[in-house]
């Protein structure tokens, strides 16, 4: 039996998030190659030059039709995730799609069903899941360093005044929570278990161009009686550079830097401090997990079903904002 062909990933969309993925792929050049596709051929060619891509295309269709391509990395706006994923699957390509998986559960279900029918991997690019610091916190929990979990708090506030499609709630599917905030929704679930009920509140908006919320706080009731709190904002001026998360249990507590630089735990076994320098944002580890899933056919840890669960929590929070009451999370 011959060796498997070298994976070639087509990066669809050449915006700022594609740059992060491309940089990680370049650091993994011993394991894969990349091509770029954009509505602007000049932009695709510029990315190919900068990140040593094999080729550049002016349409996604042409990139996916290239026989060298084995997978697609969808880096397009949220309202394009469904059609661009379906296009890639129709060409028989595995798909790594940026978070959120989609804007609605119906869109997510169509993507999951299409991947299953095509016999291809559908993975959500939830890089926080693969951050060494996030995984170390999960390890402390599994090792019993904190005892039985009680509370989780995740705070991510800053200022990012978008002027592109991210200002449009229809394209986004919402505001800051479904965009950057869904990283913390996933981390909340990864550490604390499934979210059963949410109550969300949003302060007065300060970013006039955003049609969705620019800040939100979410209180969550989780399985086994765990309580979670998430505060996410893209409109907080003067916020400190340190964005943090904490996990407390019956035997101790853990404090983590959201940028992945360090984790501090005091619990069973005493005080421990862990510092992280390599792949702090998890992009390389995530790409490796995608390649492994393509090779083995086994679902990755952040498969389409996981992305759907994250989205369900976000959509429950949005319903809570509208109805101003606690809301159960749809399964």
- pLDDT recorded at residue 241: 66
Q: Which residues on adjacent β-strands are paired with residue 124?
A: 97
| Residue 319: count of CB within 10 angstroms of its CB | 16
Select from 70, 124, 110 the least CA-distant residue to 301: 124
From first to last of its 331 residues, what are the pLDDT tens digits of the chain?
345 679 999 999 999 999 999 999 999 999 999 999 999 999 999 999 999 999 999 999 999 999 999 999 999 999 999 999 999 999 999 999 999 999 999 999 999 999 999 999 999 999 999 999 999 999 999 999 999 999 999 999 988 888 889 999 999 999 999 999 999 999 999 999 999 999 999 999 999 999 999 999 999 999 999 999 999 999 988 877 678 999 999 999 999 999 999 999 999 999 999 999 999 999 999 999 999 999 999 999 999 999 999 999 999 999 999 999 999 998 7
Identify the CATH number of the domain defined by range 8-126+283-302: 3.40.50.720
- pLDDT recorded at residue 1: 35
Edge to edge, the sheet with strand 94-98 lists 56-57, 33-37, 8-12, 71-74, 94-98, 122-125
Confirm if 229 and 236 have CB atoms less than 8 A apart: no
- pLDDT recorded at residue 238: 80
- pLDDT recorded at residue 239: 73
Select from 152, 205, 154 the least CA-distant residue to 175: 205
pTM: 0.96
- pLDDT recorded at residue 159: 86
Strands (E), the chain: 8-12, 33-37, 56-57, 71-74, 94-98, 122-125, 149-157, 195-201, 215-222, 227-233, 244-249, 253-257, 262-267, 270-275, 327-328
- pLDDT recorded at residue 161: 83
Select from 128, 237, 134 the least CA-distant residue to 181: 128
Per the listing, tokens 């890089």 go with 127
- What is the third-level CATH fold of 129-280+311-328? Dihydrodipicolinate Reductase; domain 2 (3.30.360)
Q: From CA 76, how far away is CA 58, in angstroms rounded?
A: 14
Three-state DSSP class for 206? coil
Residue ranges per structural domain of the chain: 8-126+283-302, 129-280+311-328
């Amino acid at each position: 039996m011959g060796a498997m062909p070298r994976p070639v990933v087509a990066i669809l969309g050449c915006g700022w998030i594609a740059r992060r993925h491309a940089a990680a792929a370049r650091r993994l050049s011993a394991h894969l190659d990349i091509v770029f596709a954009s509505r602007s051929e000049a932009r695709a060619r510029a990315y190919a030059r900068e990140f040593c891509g094999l080729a550049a295309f002016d349409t996604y269709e042409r990139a996916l039709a290239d026989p060298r391509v084995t997978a697609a990395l969808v880096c397009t706006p949220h309202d394009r995730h469904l059609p661009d994923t379906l296009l890639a699957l129709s060409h028989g390509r595995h798909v790594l799609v940026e978070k959120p998986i989609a804007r609605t559960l119906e869109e997510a279900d169509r993507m999951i069903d299409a991947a299953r029918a095509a016999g291809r991997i559908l993975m959500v690019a939830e890089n926080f899941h693969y951050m060494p610091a996030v995984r170390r916190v999960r390890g402390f929990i599994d090792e019993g360093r904190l005892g039985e979990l009680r509370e989780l708090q995740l705070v991510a506030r800053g200022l990012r005044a978008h002027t592109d499609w991210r200002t449009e709630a229809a394209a986004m599917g919402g505001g800051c929570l479904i965009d950057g905030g869904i990283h913390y929704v996933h981390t909340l679930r990864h550490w604390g278990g499934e979210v059963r009920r949410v109550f969300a509140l949003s302060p007065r908006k300060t970013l006039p161009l955003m049609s969705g919320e620019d800040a939100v706080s979410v209180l969550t009731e989780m399985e086994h009686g765990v309580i979670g709190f998430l505060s996410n904002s893209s409109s907080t001026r003067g916020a400190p550079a340190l964005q943090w998360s904490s996990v407390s249990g019956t035997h101790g507590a853990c404090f983590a830097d959201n940028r992945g630089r360090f984790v501090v735990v005091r619990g069973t076994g005493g005080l421990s401090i862990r510092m992280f320098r390599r792949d702090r944002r998890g992009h390389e580890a995530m790409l490796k997990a995608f390649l492994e899933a393509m090779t083995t056919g086994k679902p990755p840890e952040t498969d389409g079903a996981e992305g759907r669960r994250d989205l369900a929590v976000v959509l429950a929070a949005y319903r809570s904002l509208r109805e101003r009451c606690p809301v159960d999370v749809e399964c």
